Amino acid sequence: MLAASILLQNRLLAALPPAELEQLALNMEQVTLPLGKMLYEPGEQLSHAYFPSSAIISLHYVIESGASAESAGVGREGMLGVSLFMGGNSTTSSAVVQTAGLAFRIDRQHLKAAFDQGGALQKLLLRYTQALMTQMSQSAVCNRHHCIEQQLCRWLLLTLDRLTPDVNLATQIKGATPPLPELVITQELIANMLGVRREGITEAAGQLQAKGLIRYRRGHIAVLERHGLEQRVCECYGVVKKEIARLLTDVGGEKTGPA
């Protein structure tokens, strides 16, 4: 059993009323997720749901030829395993750890039970699921119309957002926040997620590096000028980011919402 306070590192859990969080904490455990670990195989019965705190997970589908494409990513803002409460209990996608780190997990039965209580957790998870859907449909659009460089910017920015700790959680973070955010990942893995060739990433990343926006070093990407990435990224980044913000902020607001 975990202290409820540590669970606040996940933004979904942080949005729960204290009572519900305490209840959930009884059945949560913290796990370390190493880079590349496959959490869900397509069609497999899921045993746990994961609420990342520092880890990032990539949802993608692998086609018969072996190629693949990411449909969404999951970080501190979300959770993995929506099919557990949506009713399907499995998905056609795979889930792989894209950035090593920590996550909290809860087994299927306890999650389902908590969801079926119909409280704030249910509301929150459903809203998050809608945010996931936005990511998926935006991935479809982006794959169709935007070039590799734009998609790489989108991927970098979304990953960066998931790595950066919340401002209001700053007191919880003991170590100093790193001045230069650095992603630990190879070009080959990025290529797999975007569903493009490794060489395509090499070229696009080279362009960004030549412009001084990032710095590359064998499996590490340092983002030097976040603003520069934001200027080159396609609209898809903003759409996804705004929709996540919209759906996960005014939780409990049962008003008709903005027109």
Partner DNA sequence: TTACTTACGTTCGTTAGCGCACGGAAGCCG
Partner DNA sequence: CGGCTTCCGTGCGCTAACGAACGTAAGTAA
The residues that touch a copy of itself, with contacts defined as CB under 8 A, are: 43-45, 59, 61, 63-65, 67-72, 82-83, 85-93, 116, 118, 123, 126-127, 129-134, 136-141, 143-145, 195, 234-235, 239, 243, 246-247, 251, 256-259
Residue 166's binding partner, choosing from a copy of itself, DNA, none, with beta-carbon cut-off 5 to 8 A by kind? none
Contact between 120 and DNA by CB under 7 A: the answer reads no
- Residue 9 sits at φ, ψ, to 5 deg, of -65, -25
**Total chain residues near DNA (CB under 7 A):** 23
Q: How many CB atoms lie within 10 A of CB 17?
A: 12
Task: Give the nearest distance from C-beta 217 to a copy of itself in angstroms.
Answer: 28
Contact between 132 and DNA by CB under 7 A: the answer reads no
Residue 188's binding partner, choosing from a copy of itself, DNA, none, with beta-carbon cut-off 5 to 8 A by kind? DNA
Query: Rounded distance, CA 158 to CA 155, Å?
Result: 5
User: Residue 203 or 243: which CB sits closer to a copy of itself?
Assistant: 243
Q: Which of 39, 131, 205, 208 binds DNA (CB under 7 A)?
A: 205
Contact between 148 and DNA by CB under 7 A: the answer reads yes
Q: Pattern of binders to DNA over 33-72, x per CB under 7 A?
A: ----------------------------------x-----
Residue 118's binding partner, choosing from DNA, a copy of itself, none, with beta-carbon cut-off 5 to 8 A by kind? a copy of itself
* Identity of residue 105: R
Query: Rounded distance, CA 192 to CA 173, Å?
Result: 32
| Long-range CB contacts (within 8 A, 24+) of 124-129 | 124/12, 124/15, 124/16, 124/248, 124/251, 125/12, 125/79, 125/82, 125/85, 127/247, 127/248, 127/251, 128/12, 128/77, 128/78, 128/79, 128/82, 128/247, 128/248, 129/82, 129/86
User: Residue 67 or 169: which CB sits closer to DNA?
Assistant: 67
SS3 88: coil
Provide CB contacts within 8 A for 155, sequence distance 6+.
Answer: 190, 193, 194
Provide CB contacts within 8 A for 51, sequence distance 6+.
Answer: 7, 10, 12, 13, 28, 78, 79, 80, 103, 104, 105, 106
Residue 71's binding partner, choosing from DNA, a copy of itself, none, with beta-carbon cut-off 5 to 8 A by kind? a copy of itself
Q: Which of 38, 86, 147, 173 binds DNA (CB under 7 A)?
A: 147
Q: Which of 27, 122, 137, 202 binds DNA (CB under 7 A)?
A: 202
Enumerate binding residues for DNA (CB under 7 A).
Answer: 67, 146-149, 186-188, 195-200, 202-203, 205-206, 209, 216-219
